[in-house]
Chains A and B, each alone.
Chain A
Amino acid sequence: MIEIKDLHKSYKMGSNSLHVLKGINFKAEEGELVAIMGSSGSGKSTLLNILGMLDVADEGEYILDGVPIKDLNETKAANYRNKFLGFIFQSFNLINYKNALENVALPLYYQRMPRKARQEKALKYLELVGLKDWAHHLPSELSGGQKQRVAIARAMAAEPKVVLADELTGALDSVTSYEVMDLVQKINDQGNTILVVTHEDDIAHMCKRIIHLKDGVIEKDEKVKQVRASEYV
């Protein structure tokens, strides 16, 4: 599903150049639940941004579902993101003047889906994350965990090939974190490919595979025995 080869990325800071990714290689198959771990500055967010086509690598190949991702301009990237990727952010990034349903329906809007179909589908995904009754509430009326579940529904609504989650539990307490992870696991059980960037060990161990990043290289890539979040809930 995802294949990256020899990925390099450096940031220019004035006259200095900061080499963040120093040749990353990995493959993720369909249905995997991968955690990318590393301390801050290890390059995990940069990697995720490149995978999310929010940023461009300096060097290396990136193949997503058999499509080589290269020569991106903003429009092309936008279309790929819309078609292939779902995003879950640490700070939820819901649009605060839209209710839960509208937030979930937003990626479908950019797929030019008719309004009615859009709302039906959005409602279906809200139901999946258990927030059907909250469909018409604004983000400000939802708890952190609820917001993240709306965000997950939004990421899923477009039926992406891959869901990218950036510290999705970073703003949540541990109980809520486990609830959210439980949801992520359930979605993964249905065959969705999910990449989770985290620095929390317990969250990482709820995935099926952990990639440890350190100083821009993969230090360790291990399959782990998945801890079901439902055990904690």
Chain B
Amino acid sequence: MKFIFDRNTWQEIFGSIRKNKTRTIITVIGVLWGIFIYIALSGAAKGMDNGFEKAFETVAKNSMFAWAQRTSIPHEGFKTGRQLQLKVADASVIKNRIPEVQNIAPLNVRGVFGDTPATTGRGLKSGTYTVWGYYPVYSKITAKKIFDKGRFINEDDIKQARKVCVIGERTLQELYDKDEEAVGTFIKVDNVYFQVVGVHKFTPTTPFDADGDIWIPFTTYKKLYNTGENVSFFAIAAYDDVDVIEVEENVLKVLRSTHRVHPEDERAFGSVNLGEIFGRVMGFANGITFLSLVVGLATILAGVIGIGNILLISVKERTKELGVRRALGATPREVRSQIILESVFLTMIAGIVGIILGAGVLSIINTLTKDNDNFPFTNPTLPIPYVIGALLIMVILGTLIGLIPAQRAVSIKPIDALREE
């Protein structure tokens, strides 16, 4: 061990490294590139991971949606193909029967599933937009971003069936002049005047979300479109620590029993489970992370092998020098240690520079993508253990690969080395 910390040892190593600068630099670049790729890839994968995480932060990760379809199995005297209709009352049944459900919000919508969207106008401008009937609790299931000065639908809106609405960004653009203040103004939705109470930011959390739509209180929607107790679909959030797939099955089971549908009729109610989708996306991200680790490590390995290769050539070139050294009293151990240390040293230098460069590139990417919400890339960091692990691997590989030229160096007898011209 003393050997490693001996200043003389390093002087010998620097001496022989300095001897062939170009070759040393090119060799170092091999490993440097490897570690750079490793850091950049893994960091980017992590950034993507974080990006997805962030993209999903607006929606409860264990939320799901359920809607009614047609039955596919005859049951209790009903023919197959009966069109089912969700009712507001189903919500309380589900909430009561399934304790894992934290929030459940009935939703109504027109303009998404083939029905006509609302004709909306303001002064001379008009357009057709999807109209949603919301309960305030919906904002607990998927976070809704309302721009400054505005608000989401609240309990009073529901109780009094107020004619208030929240409009989308595109709706704002199309119905209002530039820089015009929307909150407090009135728009005409299907011939009824609504006061705008907020403008929402477009956050795609479900496949039906759009940038141009109009949100009104559920109760108002009921009156406006005469939908009675009908519900288009339910948004349901389970508690954080429960298995949302199980909750999803239970919800469908409850719906089937309340709507007198055959218990095995899988097609009577449709559902989509964001937890599952989230899991799949994160699985994909994990796959990418794993892949980048493998690719990075493989690149490092290739670089280290390059170092070993160069050292092998270098040993060949230095046969005579090594012979002289041994004639002067260098033991095989000293010769071997010197070459291994050279290998490890080159690997380490390359590694450290590579890590710094990789970190630099990651920080540049981070700066460039900071303000871009559509690009799922946030805070691309690499956990310290990964970095230390990479360095450790490099030291080990450097040693192992250094063993080959080192062994070769001592396997040549000093006399043969000296004889070589």
Which A residues form the contact surface with B (CB < 8 A)?
A: 49, 52, 54-55, 74-75, 78-79, 81-83, 87, 89, 91, 93-98, 102, 106-107, 109-111, 115, 154, 158
Across-interface contacts of B324 in A (CB, < 8 A): 89, 93-95
Q: Are A106 and B410 in contact (CB under 8 A)?
A: no
Query: Which of B11, B321, B327, B329 has the most CB atoms of chain A within a 10 A radius of its CB?
Result: B329
Interface hits, B389-417 → A, CB 8 Å = 410, 413-415
Q: Are A78 and B415 in contact (CB under 8 A)?
A: no
Q: Are A97 and B328 in contact (CB under 8 A)?
A: no
Q: What number of residue pairs across chains A and B have CB atoms under 8 A from each other?
A: 72
Given contacts A74-B326, A74-B331, A89-B418, 14 further A-B contacts (CB under 8 A): A54-B327, A54-B418, A55-B413, A55-B415, A78-B331, A78-B332, A79-B331, A81-B328, A87-B328, A93-B324, A93-B327, A95-B325, A106-B328, A158-B329
Which residue from A89, A94, A110 sits with its C-beta under 8 Å from B329? A110
Interface residue total, chain B, C-beta cutoff 8 A? 28
With both beta carbons as reference points, the residue of chain A lying nearest to B7 in the complex is identified as A115
Which of B14-22, B146-154, B211-219, B287-295 lies at the binding interface?
B14-22
Interface hits, B317-346 → A, CB 8 Å = 320-321, 323-334
With both beta carbons as reference points, the residue of chain B lying nearest to A112 in the complex is identified as B8
With both beta carbons as reference points, the residue of chain A lying nearest to B421 in the complex is identified as A91
- In the A-B complex, the 3 residue pairs with the closest CB atoms: A82-B329, A97-B19, A110-B329
Q: Does B12 make an interface contact (CB < 8 A)?
A: yes
Q: Are B327 and A109 in contact (CB under 8 A)?
A: no
Q: Are A111 and B329 in contact (CB under 8 A)?
A: yes
Across-interface contacts of A106 in B (CB, < 8 A): 325, 328
Which residue from A75, A78, A93, A97 sits with its C-beta under 8 Å from B320? A93
Q: Are A54 and B413 in contact (CB under 8 A)?
A: yes
Interface hits, B1-54 → A, CB 8 Å = 7-8, 11-12, 15-16, 18-19
Query: B-side binding surface: helix, strand, loop or mixed?
Result: helix
Report the separation of the CA atoms of residues A102 and B321 in the bound assembly, to the nearest whole angstrom. Answer: 14
Report the separation of the CA atoms of residues A218 and B413 in the bound assembly, to the nearest whole angstrom. Answer: 27
Q: Are A109 and B8 in contact (CB under 8 A)?
A: yes
Report the separation of the CA atoms of residues A55 and B417 in the bound assembly, to the nearest whole angstrom. Answer: 12
Q: Are A78 and B321 in contact (CB under 8 A)?
A: no
Across-interface contacts of A83 in B (CB, < 8 A): 329
Given contacts A75-B332, A78-B332, whether A115 and B321 have CB atoms under 8 Å apart is no
Query: Which of B19, B328, B421 has the most CB atoms of chain A within a 10 A radius of its CB?
Result: B328
Q: Are A154 and B415 in contact (CB under 8 A)?
A: no
With both beta carbons as reference points, the residue of chain B lying nearest to A52 in the complex is identified as B327
Q: Are A49 and B415 in contact (CB under 8 A)?
A: yes
Q: Are A93 and B418 in contact (CB under 8 A)?
A: yes
Distance between B207 CB and nearest chain A CB, rounded to angstroms = 69
Distance between A77 CB and nearest chain B CB, rounded to angstroms = 8
Across-interface contacts of B415 in A (CB, < 8 A): 49, 54-55
Distance between A71 CB and nearest chain B CB, rounded to angstroms = 16
Across-interface contacts of A79 in B (CB, < 8 A): 329, 331
Report the separation of the CA atoms of residues A118 and B76 in the bound assembly, to the nearest whole angstrom. Answer: 104
Across-interface contacts of A109 in B (CB, < 8 A): 8, 12
Across-interface contacts of B7 in A (CB, < 8 A): 115
Across-interface contacts of A95 in B (CB, < 8 A): 321, 324-325
Distance between A167 CB and nearest chain B CB, rounded to angstroms = 12
Across-interface contacts of B418 in A (CB, < 8 A): 54, 89, 93
Q: Are B333 and A98 in contact (CB under 8 A)?
A: no
Across-interface contacts of A52 in B (CB, < 8 A): 327
Interface hits, B284-325 → A, CB 8 Å = 320-321, 323-325
Which residue from B8, B18, B333 sits with its C-beta under 8 Å from A75? B333
Report the separation of the CA atoms of residues A89 and B320 in the bound assembly, to the nearest whole angstrom. Answer: 12
Distance between A140 CB and nearest chain B CB, rounded to angstroms = 12
Across-interface contacts of A89 in B (CB, < 8 A): 324, 418
With both beta carbons as reference points, the residue of chain A lying nearest to B329 in the complex is identified as A82
Across-interface contacts of A87 in B (CB, < 8 A): 327-328
Report the separation of the CA atoms of residues A83 and B331 in the bound assembly, to the nearest whole angstrom. Answer: 12
